[in-house]
Structure 1
């Protein structure tokens, strides 16, 4: 529970902020409205948890709504869910680390201007932890979740006791008044106050985002996996609902304000603006008010909130690569995403996730409300299609049974699925109607683009597989070439060149030749004289280059052989330096790489790279062996 459910639990660290923020657009202070919105979101949480307990037991393989929708509604519905979940995981990482930066700023106000940098550094730390892939790391990440739940429940308990005893705490913003965000927003609320309340409800629904994380992590649970994951989801849902309702109710009693632009919307009791005022998250303000006589506890609550957000970000690092790997195995994403790295993690997927999250954080300048506007569409779209798939799942099975206790239980499960479908569909409509033009359209566009891209990738792989499948009467791929031409590209007479010549001769070609480009006529003449003096048993051909181009004459020479003898095979041998440091690749092999890229486009031409390992490679290998031991080192010969 603390590892895989931390995403859902941590959402109570910012869901109340979004509720109050949406209400503040009209100047409505959440004294009476926000607790009811928190209660409504809590009801949605419990219903979704009830639905997903059935989902996890019916589909314990870890595919989540992607598997449910794809199996029962078809490939297209599964792709829509997959695109939604991929966007959701990226936003989970971006939102978690952005709120993390907010809590760091609450503890250390001088760091508030650097929230973008803090969020990016946080993404880097979580990415490194994910790339390591250690179960010990996962066990360590469980501690902040327990501390966060304990800290929030302690804050609520102390706050309730103080309120019931008549000693109601006062927050920094309790005496402030909240003004509408603008004249346009004031006009809007005059005609549609219900719209504002619905928008606040949709914003608070971000607390449900973590349900999918548990659904995709089922294979990592102990057997029976479906039952254990369902139990985890139940405990998490109950805790999330209790904490969300408690925070919204206590915040309303205390009179905490959270607005979009505090310097404009917050005024003192006398009506004067508060000026340059940096507001803290709602949970931070609540902790400051409740523990007013013991400020150390505020830092404890803010610290554990920041830590649990790091853990929640780690769940995205667990979920995104796993789903991307499954999609890659099904042919919908590049196959590189299906392979594990040397530490048995899907490193390519983790790096792709981190890059996308960093782009979002920088583009939004680490503003949580802007990211939340994008967050909910993918979450509830996956919910809706998943529940529709489960209804079909139970319907198909009910048809195969006569009256029996099992049939009645399936009918009850289908009824629960209908309840989940209607509720999530309603929330999705609310989200789209209240947030579409505020930024949700970007998420819709991203899901649509991803859906189309995955379809194109699948079509490409299918076309390539059909093209590469050998036919019984097709001998073109097995026909032997008439002759073999071995061509060694020479830039200087040194050890790599001599090895390339030896390899070319060892392959027993029909013809073997060495070529060099005369960029400098005097240099080419000296090269020819040294070649003859060494008595090398291969003829050297000097190619003219009036424009001092290296690759052009070589390409003309190779294509000339192809035109004269189109059925012959041409093997081009290129010496290549193998180095020990990444930056040395920038200093070597660049000409060879460009030439190799061009030659690979010529039919019946094979490029053979002849490796020559420099001393830096051997030093790097020895250092690696001393660090991890010879048994743990990677093979150096291929």
Structure 2
């Protein structure tokens, strides 16, 4: 039944050679990989205004030059990541670039930052999408956690079904959001220019702006830069593209930059032009839509599409996180389980891991993860900086034709993103200080995993010309609970391997022991029976002590094998009616050195 349920939700398994059919074209890739970046249009401007409003309503005039500064940084990042995609067409983004040019530790810093960022992306996007729904339907405020968890479950399920299938479904709401935002911007600009909407803000009111400072402006700028999270996703996921993968990835990156830049600037201009300020129960984009269209059909279409794109922003993480986890696992810094492809050819373990951790964050923060946005932004600007620095080192090291102009571009990108990172740390230290504890712990875990795999490789490695299999006569111990066909089957198998077979019975009282000895003598299977008395009604402890005694007596002269008889019931629920002593014994013996544990199954027919 479990298999049938899995097939219903996940779909039929796909052959390995169908992997090429799972690659994405530019339009589907744009929907899957840019949803995080495009969704930031819904909250990027609001983050700027939240900081400026601490001075006064007139301070929102500064949101316009700050928005242009954010666009300038977006242009730098787009041009810089074009170079990264060309240089590293196998994907991996900041992790591969930093590891290749700056060393393993720096690469792990970039990779760890991105993994954490993707987890935060899912949590923040889900909570932001819930905010959009609650803005339209305030009565749902108490159900925000369940709404967010439902959407995380939906995205997890869609991605488990495969990249292509999820892209086909999720492309519709992404492009719907793009269309309705441009309609909103066009209608809003038209109404403003025709005098139907007039701002009530008086720019340059000296009294209101007396508290403005460079520190505050930098803080607002850094908050606005949260709109740029997700820009790196395309360079991380180049292997998801159809051939020519690099060219298609670059085209997708440029399209994403054009859409993001124009939408972000349009919303910022409308917010200022209409005098919109952040409100607790209504987002900025909700207020703009209400000002332009009223609370009619178009308003609810805009709110619905905004909620969808904010939820689907998490899908960028679902595309990039499993691929990055695969690369780290390939380098033996994460568990090998992240390298396994599921039935639908996706890295299903990475998808499930991402969904579970982000759901845990939603529950921990009660669905209100807005406080995580600064940490979320720092998590992506650290890899931004390391990626650009890595590319600078690469150009200096290789010096290909025309390298100097590329070096200058990456230098500008590195200095800019480094500045933003420092601004985040200085202006929002109270919110991002945990990154200085968390990231070192993540990197330490990476190294511990890598050391474990290295130790295993050392212990398992053999010299082909020296190390050969050794044949030796060992002792087989068969624990028995009575004289049954299960026991007879196990003893028969044991005697086919060696003559050194002993049966061990653990009795709790004299009557049971005498009965067992009498029946065994009557049966006479050709195997000696050793009886152990258990005063505390434990089967496992006397057996373990006996095995240790045999091991001590035999020393290195032979291998000890414990052959456990076990009957297999016809129906699964029959197991509930029987003691599982064999399972417990096997679990204990697994950790016993120099003891081989084997099970001889006997299948019941009734």
Distance 1:129 1:491, change over 3 A: farther
Residue 286 of structure 1 aligns to a residue whose secondary structure is: helix
Alignment pair present for 1:480 and 2:500: no
Shift of 1:215: 1.2
In structure 1, runs of 5+ residues without a counterpart are 176-188, 263-278, 402-406, 617-638
Structure 2: state its 5+ residue gaps.
1-29, 202-208
Displacement, 1:133?
A: 2.1
Structure 2 partner of 1:365: 366
Residues 404-424 of structure 1, C-alpha deviations (whole Å, 9 max, x = no match): xxx3x3211111111111111
- CA apart distance, 1:135: 2.0
In the alignment, structure 1 residue 470 sits paired with structure 2 residue 462: yes
The answer on 1:308 being equivalent to 2:305 is no
What residue is the counterpart of 2:354 in the other structure? 353
Shift of 1:104: 2.2
Contact 2:53/2:60, CA 8 A, preserved across alignment: no
Is the 8 Å Cα contact of residues 570 and 604 (structure 1) preserved in structure 2?
A: yes
* Pairing 1:566-581 to 2, within 5 Å after superposition: 566-567=555-556, 568-576=558-566
1:606 aligns with 2:596: yes
Q: Distance in 1 between matches of 2:58 and 2:353?
A: 41
The separation in 2 between residues aligned to 1:112 and 1:255, in whole angstroms, is: 26
CA contact (8 A) 1:578 1:613 kept: yes
Cα distance 1:562–1:134, how it changes in 2: closer, same or farther (>3 A)? same
Matched residue, 2:407: 414
Shift of 1:169: 7.5
Instruction: Please give the alpha-carbon distance, in whole angstroms, between the structure 2 residues aligned to 1:588 and 1:159.
Output: 72
Deviation digits for residues 25-76 of structure 1, max 9, x if unmatched?
3445553122222221121111101110111111110111111111111112
What is the aligned partner in structure 2 of residue 544 from structure 1? 533
Q: Alpha carbons of 1:345 and 1:584: their partners in 2 closer, same or farther (altered >3 Å)?
A: farther
- CA change 1:538–1:418 in 2 (3 A) is same
Moved more, 89-98 or 607-616: 607-616
Tell me, what secondary structure is at the counterpart of 1:516? strand
Q: TM-score, normalised by structure 2?
A: 0.87
In 2, are the aligned partners of 1:570 and 1:605 still within 8 Å (CA)? yes
**1:354-396: per-residue Cα shift (whole Å, max 9, x none)?**
2221222222222242110210112111011100111111122
Secondary structure of 1:374's aligned partner = helix
The reply to whether residue 207 of structure 1 matches residue 201 of structure 2 is no
Alpha-carbon distance in structure 1 between the residues aligned to 2:602 and 2:449: 37
* Offset, 1:580: 9.3
Q: Structure 2 matches for 1:248-267, cutoff 5 A?
A: 248-258=268-278, 262=280
Partner of 1:624: none
What is aligned with 1:96? 125
In the alignment, is the contact (CA less than 8 A) between 1:487 and 1:571 conserved in 2?
yes
Quote how far apart the aligned CAs of 1:328 are.
0.9
Q: 1:239 aligns with which of 245, 248, 259?
A: 259
Q: Give the drift of 1:569.
A: 0.8
TM-score (norm 1): 0.83
Matched with 1:447 is 439
Which among 140, 154, 162 is matched to residue 111 of structure 1? Answer: 140
Q: Is the 8 A contact 1:375 1:443 kept in 2?
A: no
Query: Residues 371, 496 of structure 1: CA spacing in aligned structure 2 closer, same or farther, 3 A cutoff?
Result: farther
Q: Tell me whether 514-523 or 575-584 shows the greater mean CA deviation.
A: 575-584
CA contact (8 A) 2:152 2:355 kept: yes
Question: Which region of structure 1 is more displaced relative to structure 2, 322-331 or 460-469?
Answer: 460-469
Query: Given the superposition, is the C-alpha separation of residues 289 and 228 from structure 1 closer, same or farther in structure 2, using an over 3 Å criterion?
Result: same
Greater shift in the superposed pair: 7-16 or 579-588: 579-588
Distance 1:541 1:157 in 2: 90
Q: 1:335 and 1:96, CA in 2 relative to 1: closer, same or farther beyond 3 A? A: same
Contact 1:576–1:589 (CA<8 Å) still a contact in 2? no
Q: How far off its partner does 1:145 sit?
A: 1.0
Query: Are the structure 2 counterparts of residues 580 and 392 from structure 1 closer, same or farther at C-alpha, using a change threshold of 3 Å?
Result: farther
1:74 to 85, 99, 103: 103
For the structure 1 residues 69 and 480, does the alpha-carbon distance in structure 2 shift closer, same or farther, using more than 3 Å as the test? same
Q: CA RMSD in A?
A: 2.7
Asked if 1 retains the 8 angstrom alpha-carbon contact of 2:47 and 2:224, the reply is: yes
2:19 is aligned to: none
Q: Which residue in 2 is equivalent to 1:561? A: 550
CA contact (8 A) 1:328 1:334 kept: yes
CA distance in 2, matches of 1:493, 1:134: 56
SS at match of 1:2: helix
Which residue of 218, 224, 243 maps to 1:198? 218
How far apart, CA to CA, are the structure 2 residues paired with 1:129 and 1:214?
A: 20
Matched residue, 2:283: 281
Report what 1:391 is aligned to. Answer: 392
Q: Deviations over 1:422-454 (max 9, x none)?
A: 1111111111111121x2112332222111111
| Distance verdict in 2 for CA 1:432–1:547, change over 3 Å | same
Q: Quick one: structure 1 residues 535 and 325, their matched pair in 2 at CA, closer, same or farther if it must change by over 3 Å?
A: same
For 1:570 and 1:54, locate their aligned partners in 2 and report how far apart those are by CA, in whole Å.
Answer: 61
SS of 1:540's equivalent?
A: strand
Q: Give the CA deviation at 1:493.
A: 4.9
Report the Cα offset of residue 330 of structure 1: 0.5
Distance in 2 (alpha carbons) for counterparts of 1:378 and 1:489: 56
Kindly state the Cα deviation for residue 301 of structure 1 after the two structures are TM-superposed: 1.2
Matched residue SS, 1:297: helix
Cα–Cα, structure 1 residues 542 and 378, in superposed 2: closer, same or farther, change >3 Å? same
The residue that corresponds to 2:292 in the other structure is: 290
Provide the rounded CA distance (Å) in 1 between the counterparts of 2:571 and 2:106: 47
SS at match of 2:599: strand
Do the aligned partners of 1:517 and 1:550 also contact (CA within 8 Å) in 2?
A: yes
Q: How far, CA to CA, are the matches of 2:101 and 2:570 in structure 1?
A: 52
CA distance in 1: counterparts of 2:570 and 2:113, whole angstroms: 42
Q: Which residue of 1 aligns with 2:501?
A: 512
Residue 505 of structure 2 contacts residue 530 of structure 2 at CA under 8 Å; is this kept in 1?
Answer: yes
Residue 498 of structure 1, CA deviation? 4.1
**Separation of aligned partners in 2, 1:582 and 1:23:** 64
Deviation for aligned residue 1:238: 1.1
Moved more, 513-522 or 542-551: 513-522
Shift of 1:233: 0.6
Aligned residues: 569
Report SS of the residue matched to 1:3.
helix
Change (3 A) 1:580 1:377: farther
**Separation (CA, whole Å) in 2 of partners of 1:537 and 1:393:** 75
- Structure 1 position 576, deviation (Å): 4.8
- Asked if structure 1 preserves the Cα contact closer than 8 Å seen for 2:92 and 2:324, the reply is yes
